[in-house]
Amino acid sequence: MLELQNVSYVVKDENNVDKAILKDISVKINDRFVAVTGPNGGGKSTLAKIIAGIYAPTSGKILLDGVDITELSITERAKMGISFAFQQPVRFKGITVKDLICLAAGKNLKISEACEYLSEVGLCARDYINREVNASLSGGELKRIEIAMIIARGTKFSVFDEPEAGIDLWSFNNLIQVFENMHKKIKGTILIISHQERILDIADKILVVADGRVADFGVKKDILPGLLSSKQIACKTLIDKL
Amino acid sequence: MNKIQLDLLEQIAGIHEIPQGAFNFRIDGEAAGRNTTENIDIVTKEGGQGIDIFIKPGTKNESLHMPVILSKTGMVDLVYNDFHIGEDCDVTIVAGCGIHNGGDEKSQHDGIHRFFVGKNARIKYIEKHYGQGDGKGENVMNPTTEIYIEKGGYMEMETAQIKGINSTDRKTFAKLDEDATLIVKEKLMTHGNQYAETNFDVELNGENSSAHVVSRSVAKDNSKQLFLSNIKGNNRCSGHTECDAIIMDSAVVKAVPEITAAHVEASLIHEAAIGKIAGEQIIKLMTLGLSEKEAEEQIISGFLK
């Protein structure tokens, strides 16, 4: 279980004035599949980075299975079982898909084993295993490799930041299947930031983050109808235009 | 061979024992073993300072290993090696130099290699430089490579200097005839107070000749690197030179890629990039459980792979 206790994250803006990105977030996540949604700029990606240890909260605590991990590094959290799929996957010159999958799995894999993970995300290992993770791969291919790495890690708490962004419609249907399969197999928790109704639809619970706060959190059947019927939180000018 | 020499041999040539095919070993300034084949002949030059290698036209899938090892401190070795590669050959040549300098005097190996690549011949040339030793003596290597490729010939040159060479001044000159191709992949890592200078000068003289010169380097600590490259297009041709460097600590890297077109159908490109390791690359690998240092090592070894 992951618990955030009164987590806030404040940065200085360009005029050196404090700007709160996350405001006093308290939430307990103990479900198999939780979707995080909400308007752009509401703090979802920051929340994911706070969980992975990339950002340190300005105040508050983070607990994983009751252990305070607030002060722990990215590496230590990764070793304790937190995985994080980036919204924009990173490219590496010279490092191959197989290298990354092996690093993720924490051991040297046979081609056939690495193939298992790649085929889970709809990539044929023969075409990809020795490819460099560089600019020659498309955004969609990189996203799938990013997801394959998380599957290879097989940790108890996996965070995905908009895995569907940049993936074409045809691939998107496969992606939904990937997460449906993961939902069946996963022993821990998947936390997935998404705006896609079809992803929200396979979630057990939905967490709505807006303006740096938890706007809503509950089981899908309570949250989803409200999300689908309501206009997004916006100013009057924008609402009038919608 | 003793253990130090065997270790150096593995580092530069990746071999543990006497290789298959033709070979020529040079240890501490002296000939230390030679094997010729029906198609590959090795002849000592008059005066003993180098060899001529003759590869018969049409020789396919054969290899030649010719490592040089310096294991005594204070050795200064200079060799002139000429490779005469016949028409329609397809061969691999693995050279390299390893220095173990356990003393306080300078050890130096200067090699001048000339390649005469015949018509439609293909050659892959792999060269590794490596130094070790616990003394205060410097390890110095100054390789010069001259390449002449005849019509339709193809040469791929992989060179690597990964560790332990205090100072290097590498020069590569090439002249290409019609339909000839040259591919150069250079890998370089410097650390401590090392200095490395590398200089490519390629003339694309023949119609449809092409050259692709790529250098990847990592400069650590207080080391300094200078990359110079000039591709001259004197005919309808294509040329590309690229220098990509990772800079760390207090190192200095200077890259001067130059292209000169003297024909309206010459198409030449140069690229150069120097920068530190991207923070997001380190963070990504840390999220896989690597420490910051391990992530850095992984990124560098991939970059130089």
The minimal CB distance from A75 to the residues B278, B280, B291 is found for: B291
- Strand segments (E) across chain B: 22-27, 30-35, 40-44, 50-55, 60-70, 76-85, 90-100, 107-117, 122-132, 139-149, 154-163, 167-176, 181-190, 195-204, 209-219, 224-233, 237-247, 252-261, 266-275
Structural domain count of chain A = 1
Q: Taking 90 as the threshold, does the pLDDT of residue B163 lie above it? A: no
Do residues B84 and B123 lie in contact, with contact meaning Cβ atoms separated by under 8 Å? no
A136-172: per-residue pLDDT in tens? Answer: 998 888 988 999 999 999 899 999 999 888 777 667 7
pLDDT 10s digits, B265-280 = 999 999 999 999 999 9
pLDDT tens-digit readout, A65-80: 999 999 999 999 999 9
The answer to whether the beta carbons of residues B67 and B96 sit under 8 Å apart is yes
pLDDT number for residue A140: 83
Q: Quote the CA–CA distance of B271 and B134 in Å, as a whole number.
A: 38
- The predicted-structure confidence for B187-230, as pLDDT tens digits, reads as follows 999 998 999 999 999 999 999 999 999 999 999 999 999 999 99
The 10s digit of each residue's pLDDT in A210-235 is 999 999 999 988 998 888 776 555 56
* Cβ atoms of A139 and A87 closer than 8 Å: no
Interchain contact, A79 vs B299, CB within 8 Å = no
Give the pLDDT of residue A233: 53
Q: Is A66 exposed, middle or buried (0-12, 13-18, 19+ CB in 10 A)?
A: exposed
Query: Of the candidates A74, A79, A99, which has its C-beta nearest B302's C-beta?
Result: A99
Q: Does the pLDDT of residue B1 top 80, yes or no? A: no
**ipTM passes above 0.90:** yes
- Percentage of chain A exceeding pLDDT 70: 94
Of chain A residues 58-87, which have a CB less than 8 A from chain B?
A: 73-75, 78-79, 82-84, 86
Chain A / chain B CB contacts < 8 angstroms: 59
Does the distance separating the beta carbons of B299 and A90 come in below 8 Å? no
pLDDT at A103: 95
The half-sphere exposure of B25 on its side-chain side, counting CA atoms within 13 A, is 20
Give the CATH number, domain containing residue A232: 3.40.50.300
Supply B187's token pair.
């890998």
Exposure string over B60-84, b if 16+ CB within 10 A, otherwise e:
eebbbbbbbbbbbbebebebbbbbe
* Cα–Cα dist B93/B61, whole Å: 11
In the prediction, which pLDDT does A239 show? 59
pLDDT at B218: 95
Inter-chain touch B289–A78, beta carbons under 8 Å: yes
Question: Does B143 or B104 have the greater pLDDT score?
Answer: B143
Q: Chain A: nearest CA to B280, how far in angstroms?
A: 7
What is the model's pLDDT at position B79?
84
Please give the Cα distance from B35 to B305 (Å, whole number). 31
pLDDT higher than threshold 70 for residue A240: no
Tell me which residues of chain A, numbers 5 to 34, contact chain B at a CB-CB cutoff of 8 Å: none
List the one residue out of A2, A3, A7 whose CA is nearest residue A213: A7
Give the mean model confidence (pLDDT) for residues B258-262: 96
Contact with chain A for residue B16, Cβ under 8 A? no
CB contact under 8 A, B289 and A75: yes
> Which pLDDT score, from 0 to 100, does residue A196 have?
87
Residue of B nearest to A80 (CA): B289
Query: Rounded to whole angstroms, how far apart are CA atoms B144 and B201?
Result: 11
User: What pLDDT is attached to residue A242?
Assistant: 57
Tokens representing B197?
Answer: 């200078």
Q: What pLDDT sits at residue A174? A: 79
pLDDT, average across residues A81-88: 95
Q: pLDDT value at position A38?
A: 92
Contact B244 A79 (CB under 8 A): no
Compute the average pLDDT of residues A113-142.
88
What pLDDT is attached to residue A181?
82
| Mean pLDDT over the full length of chain A | 89
pLDDT, position B17: 67
Over residues A183-187, the mean pLDDT reads: 76
- pLDDT score, position A215: 93
Confidence of residue B114 (pLDDT cuts 50, 70, 90): very high
User: Of B244, B286, B304, which has the smallest distance from its Cβ to A78's Cβ?
Assistant: B286
Q: Do A153 and B288 touch (CB under 8 A)?
A: yes
Contacts of A120 (CB under 8 A, 6+ apart): A148, A151, A178, A181
Q: What is the pLDDT of residue B74?
A: 78
Query: In chain A, what percentage of residues exceed pLDDT 90?
Result: 62
Which of B234, B224, B166, B223 lies closest to B201, judged by CA?
B234
Phi, psi (rounded to 5 degrees) for A173 = -60, -40
Structural domain boundaries, residue A63: 2-241
For residues B205 and B174, the answer to whether their CB atoms sit within 8 Å is no
* Cα–Cα distance for residue pair A19/A160, rounded to 1 Å: 25
Report, as an integer, the average pLDDT of B175-180. 98
The encoded tokens of residue A19 equal 């700007």
A193 in Cβ contact with A4 (< 8 Å): no
Q: What is the pTM of this model?
A: 0.85
> SS3 for A114?
helix
Give pLDDT tens digits for B126-140.
998 888 776 677 888
Residue of A nearest to B298 (CA): A95
* pLDDT for the residue numbered A234: 55
Q: Please say if the pLDDT value at position A238 is more than 70.
A: no
pLDDT beyond 70 at A236:
no
Q: Summarize pLDDT for B43-99 with one digit per residue, the tens.
A: 998 877 889 999 999 999 999 998 888 887 777 888 899 999 999 999 999 988 888
Residue A87 has what pLDDT?
A: 92
**Mean of per-residue pLDDT scores for chain B:** 91
Provide the CB-side half-sphere exposure for B174 (13 A, CA).
Answer: 32
The answer, yes or no, to whether residue A197 has pLDDT greater than 80, is: yes
**Residue B235 above 70 pLDDT?**
yes
Specify the pLDDT at position B203. 98
